[in-house]
Structure 1
Amino acid sequence: MKALFIPGNSPATVYTHAALATAVRNAGHEVFMAGIQWVLPDIVSVGLPAVRTSPIDLDDVMAFMAGMPADPEGAARAAGRVYAEIGVESLDPLVKMAEHWRPDLVVGSPMYYGAALLAQRLSVPWVMLEWDRGDASIYHPGAMEVLRPVLDGLGLDRLPGPDLHIDVCPPSLRPEGAPESVTMRFVPANPQRHLEPWMYTRADRPRVAITGGSRVFQGDRLARTARAIGALGVEVVVAAPEPVAAQVRESDPQVRAGWVPLDVLAPTCDVIVHHGGGATDMTSMACGVPQLIAIQDVSAVEMRRIADAGAAIMLDPDRQEVEDIARACSTLLESPSYRARARELAAENAAQPGPAAMVERLERLVG
């Protein structure tokens, strides 16, 4: 079997699809993973063959992010248009690739609209693999503005539904009316590096990790946040890309800052502070760590759900100053109920079938 994974247009989607892609390859099948120029190093970093679908790089992505509408609905519509444009533009390069390496199966995330189109063109099954707990339907209105002419040309009134829908959200956190799916255990995966003992060893005091991905908690704000949390008497680790981490170390040499694989670091943490990113949220949940969601974007609904479940605190938009973050961290550290609830969700995730158990389902689709 040849399986083509097209997870999406950010590193986070690559990391969250890596476990199933690796399981398929470990079962003896051929696996390619495709993505825009920006994510190709991330695909390679998780040990998978990388195929370029588009020349879009980090500068292009940052330019798009800088021009995003401020309101969540407008941001979701704009993102949906871009996701659809990338999917449509990627179709011809992927069809050309298929002339030499024809997949028997296409696996894509709900945000990668090209997966359904490619499977339709090649007449092969397609599998929708969720990469986080997010509701991708918020992107559909913007996406359909781009996809409508393409679908009309294919004689379709809507995007084809998946032949198999795999969800990684713990059942207790799934919203009412969620689409029918099979549930798979979420297994974290990250680019790795040479590990130092402190990265996988619990400290002699509570540890708080701050991760803002590549989009938020930049520069001076990140350094001030780290200092305010450190004043609680905890060890602070800033997991950030090197250009951002260097600024933090220069401002406060006592803070451990740099690229640390979150799947290694998370089990040693007592709290993880982040911006509502799906990969950080899912990794924290899988490791049983309470979360502080300090900045939200279009993922606010899903982040509110884990806060309502008692495993996180989500700050309101008007209470996201450094002092608010430190105060919420203190609450998470002092209240054992958050840790207990986070561990319950981790146990629920661990009880789901693992990626290896999904391979047979994929084989049956192809067979």
Structure 2
Amino acid sequence: MAWALQSAGHEVRVASHPDMADTIVKAGLTAVAVGEKEDLAGAVRAAGEDERLRRIVDALPFGPGDANFKTAIGHYVLGAFGLYYPEDPPGPDRRPMVDDLIGFARSWRPDLVLWDPLSFPSPVAARACGAAHARVLWAIDHMGWTRSRLLERLEGLDRLDSPRSRPREDPLDPMASMMKPTLRRLGHDFDEELIVGQWTVDLMPPRMRLPVDLRYVPVQMVPYTGADVLPEWLYERPSRPRVCLTLGLSSRHFFAKNYGIPVGDLLDMVADLDIEMVATLNDAQLASVDRVPPNVKVVDYVPLTQLLPTCSAIIHHGGAGTFAAAVSARVPQLVIPTEGAERVEVGDHVALRGAGLSMPTVESGLLTVDDVKKSLVRILNEPSFRRGAGELRADLAATPSPRDAVPILEDLTVEHRR
């Protein structure tokens, strides 16, 4: 998206926490370091202990089968919300991201701020400099659903409660109550745009969109998995089916955990199959592995955009980035999801569209290596999964590319800029 705007002649800056600067620069973009390094995994873990966040979760209409959905919202989405809207004001030794971002925005004066849906300081900075602003989804819109359902709940309470009887901070809206101290400190009032943007750029398949009444601009997710020198072993297509095994970079770097099935068992299960497996695993993930079968190639990292075009299937955790790379390469998918975020929904979508299979979650206790092996053999042997993967690829191709979306963003910027 940034390159599409830059190639159209627009100036682009990518602002994030300091530890993201190198990644941004390596993508050929200009980085702006704001705030301090944050403990994202810690914020996710702490979300369950935050009474303010529990009040939001308790107000949402979760059903008996929504355990994963509840985890995704309660920890991953609201964890970030709590990180940027803390209960206590920042001390003299803290430099909040929102303050730095506002300072840069007022100095550089952008016309448009496109923001990660969990980067809640971004719309405040846009408001401070008069820029138009929109979220860019990298997964399904958990926050849009959360806010929509919470507002429905509050509207129901409005009919039962007299507004005159409420305390000044209106505790019936716990999200607004969390935001107001920070907004007051910065001289801003609360409104809905500070949670869900003026509009939303949606990179996920339209059929995965949650029932939320917001303005969405669909844009094709063009996978970017890093740049690297193409290894010689990828120059030619393999002589037998190649399967990629990846457990995801986010799990590797931020939420490292036991994957439910020992990694060694996942490698051993293909030892008697006439296939080649390429497993992207680092030293920590391999620490418990006693042996690697001869038909398994272990690499610490290779960009999926380089590897997947040579593959007949991929086994992965259900992350949106991995899903997009597999769809783009028209590769059938075997999803072994971990709970939280979008991963179960990704697996369900893959299975519903006939583009692969989805296993029970890692945390369910129902996952067995024998079932994984049987599912992989099905995917490799049944042509219908390749056809389903082709249909997902056709859906992707029918969605406007980032280049095609630039004029739409230009018009919306003119409409919303202040």
Shared topology, TM-score over 0.5?
yes
CA contact under 8 A between 1:46 and 1:189: conserved in structure 2?
no
Higher mean Cα deviation, 336-345 or 40-49? Answer: 40-49
CA gap 1:162/1:74 in 2 versus in 1, 3 angstroms = closer
Counterparts of residues 109-258 of structure 1 (less than 5 Å): 109-133=116-140, 135-137=142-144, 146-150=178-182, 154-160=188-194, 161-176=196-211, 179-199=214-234, 201-214=236-249, 215=251, 221-240=262-281, 242-244=282-284, 247=287, 251-252=291-292, 254=294, 255-256=296-297, 257-258=299-300
User: How far does the alpha carbon of each residue in 1:283-305 deviate from its partner, in whole angstroms, 9 at most, with x for none?
Assistant: 11222111111123222234312
Counterparts of residues 311-350 of structure 1 (less than 5 Å): 311-316=355-360, 317-350=364-397
1:306 alignment partner in structure 2 = 350
Higher mean Cα deviation, 84-93 or 135-144? Answer: 135-144
Distance in 2 between the 1:272 and 1:68 partners?
32
CA gap 1:327/1:149 in 2 versus in 1, 3 angstroms = farther
Distance in 2 between the 1:34 and 1:250 partners?
43
1:266 alignment partner in structure 2 = 308
> Aligned with 1:229: secondary structure?
coil
1:23 aligns with 2:4: yes
> Aligned with 1:34: secondary structure?
strand
1:199 CA displacement = 3.0
Question: Which amino acid is the alignment partner of residue 224 of structure 1?
Answer: D
Aligned length: 345
User: Among residues 18, 26, 37, which one is paired with 1:56 in the alignment?
Assistant: 37
User: How far does the alpha carbon of each residue in 1:86-124 deviate from its partner, in whole angstroms, 9 at most, with x for none?
Assistant: 445321011122243222210013222222222222221
Higher mean Cα deviation, 116-125 or 80-89? Answer: 80-89
1:324 CA displacement = 2.3
1:65 CA displacement = 5.6
Unaligned runs of 5+ in 1: 1-19
Counterparts of residues 64-79 of structure 1 (less than 5 Å): 64=43, 72=68, 73-74=70-71, 76-79=73-76
CA RMSD of aligned residues (A): 3.0
Distance in 2 between the 1:54 and 1:230 partners?
48
Report the TM-score when normalising by structure 2.
0.73
CA gap 1:312/1:137 in 2 versus in 1, 3 angstroms = farther
CA contact under 8 A between 1:36 and 1:55: conserved in structure 2?
yes
1:284 aligns with 2:326: yes
Question: Which amino acid is the alignment partner of residue 47 of structure 1?
Answer: G
In terms of Rg, which structure is larger?
Answer: 2
CA contact under 8 A between 1:207 and 1:268: conserved in structure 2?
yes
Question: Which amino acid is the alignment partner of residue 375 of structure 2?
Answer: A
User: How far does the alpha carbon of each residue in 1:150-185 deviate from its partner, in whole angstroms, 9 at most, with x for none?
Assistant: 457733243444333222223344355564422211
1:358 aligns with 2:379: no
User: How far does the alpha carbon of each residue in 1:9-55 deviate from its partner, in whole angstroms, 9 at most, with x for none?
Assistant: xxxxxxxxxxx101111122211112224433322221112222333
CA contact under 8 A between 2:263 and 2:286: conserved in structure 1?
no
1:217 CA displacement = 7.4
CA gap 1:137/1:248 in 2 versus in 1, 3 angstroms = farther
Question: Which amino acid is the alignment partner of residue 48 of structure 1?
Answer: L
1:33 aligns with 2:33: no
CA gap 1:268/1:248 in 2 versus in 1, 3 angstroms = farther
Distance in 1 between the 2:379 and 2:245 partners?
14
Distance in 2 between the 1:272 and 1:355 partners?
26
CA gap 1:35/1:204 in 2 versus in 1, 3 angstroms = same
CA contact under 8 A between 2:71 and 2:339: conserved in structure 1?
no
1:225 CA displacement = 0.8
Distance in 2 between the 1:110 and 1:199 partners?
36
CA contact under 8 A between 1:77 and 1:138: conserved in structure 2?
no
CA gap 1:28/1:172 in 2 versus in 1, 3 angstroms = same
Report the TM-score when normalising by structure 1.
0.82
1:361 CA displacement = 2.2
Unaligned runs of 5+ in 2: 49-66, 86-95, 151-173
1:84 aligns with 2:81: yes
Distance in 2 between the 1:168 and 1:280 partners?
13
